[in-house]
Structure 1
Amino acid sequence: MTNSDLTPPPMRSTPDRVRHALLFECLALALVIPTGSHLFGLKTETMGVIGVGSAVTAVVWNYLYNLGFDHLLQHFTGKTVKTLLVRIVHTLLFEAGLQVVLLPAIALYLKISLVEAFYMSFSIALFYLVYAFFFNLAYDILFPIHRHRASEPVSSP
């Protein structure tokens, strides 16, 4: 057994995870605010509050969820590479967890029922499901995880 056999599979660093979350949310806001304002008949400012509030919540959830998901994936499979099926499950679970927090917040802010908020939130979630899948796929291609050489220490996330 060589030293490289003992090196744990590579994981994303904290700065990389922060870059991922910020790029994800900034691009999403650039798409969601004007489109959502038009589709839901809301003022841009109102949709902006919903978008930014959701983005801040999502950034925190994104970091915690992806860190936990990668640790579980590494624990159970020995690697952090995501297959197509794992990417689909990853995206669905991320959005479901986020909706648990966002749905009541949107209803409260807009002073609408949970059912009305559900339609808005569900529409936004559908956008994010597709967006997240393709964004994460592109991110992994543009910013691949590099394996450290055996002589270099492996930084923790």
Structure 2
Amino acid sequence: MQHKTRFDRIRYLVGFELGAMVLAVPLGAWLTSVDSRALLALAIGMSLIAAAWNYGYNLLFDRAMLYFKSTMVKSMADRVWHSLLFELGLLFISVPIMAAYLSISLWQAFWLDIGFVVFYLVFNYCYTYLYEKFFYASRG
């Protein structure tokens, strides 16, 4: 696997977040009839919260891996648990925030969040594929 520089990682992160917001905010406003400015503010806030959760969660998960397995090498099952627990934790954090900010019920916020999760799964796959094809295809 090819080494990625700090610049590569920052370029990926900035492009990912900006690209996701450019697509998700108008699409979300259209699908939900929520004001696009409110969704943009929510998207920016949730992006920052997700980044902080990602950092803290991965730190805790890595420590748990070392404690319980004495290794940082993840099996397929470890990766599945890592992903599921990350998304579940983010769901518990984001749903009340979405409900309060948009003045909607927790149930409505839950389904809105599920919609964002589905969007980000598809967007992540497509963005990463195109990013790597564009930036790394010629480097071997």
CA displacement at 1:94 relative to structure 2: 0.6
TM-score, with length taken from structure 1: 0.61
Which structure has more relative contact order (CA 8 Å, sep 6+)? It is 1
CA displacement at 1:91 relative to structure 2: 1.1
**Aligned with residue 62 of structure 1, among 54, 67, 70:** 54
CA displacement at 1:68 relative to structure 2: 1.2
Give the Cα separation in 1 of the matches to 2:125 and 2:24: 16
The structure whose residues are more often helix, as a share, is 2
**Aligned with residue 121 of structure 1, among 109, 113, 128:** 113
Question: CA distance change for structure 1 residues 21 and 47 in 2, over 3 Å: closer, same or farther?
Answer: same
For residue 90 of structure 1, what is the aligned residue in structure 2? 82
In structure 2, the gaps of 5 or more residues are: 1-8, 129-140
Q: Secondary structure in 2 aligned to 1:80?
A: coil
In structure 1, the gaps of 5 or more residues are: 1-16, 137-157
Equivalent residues of 1:73, 1:79 under 8 A apart: yes
Percent of aligned pairs sharing the same letter? 36
For residue 103 of structure 2, what is the aligned residue in structure 1? 111
CA displacement at 1:126 relative to structure 2: 3.3
| Matched residue count | 132
For residue 6 of structure 1, what is the aligned residue in structure 2? none
Computing the radius of gyration from Cα coordinates, the structure with the larger value is 1
CA displacement at 1:119 relative to structure 2: 1.1
For residue 43 of structure 1, what is the aligned residue in structure 2? 35
RMSD: 4.0
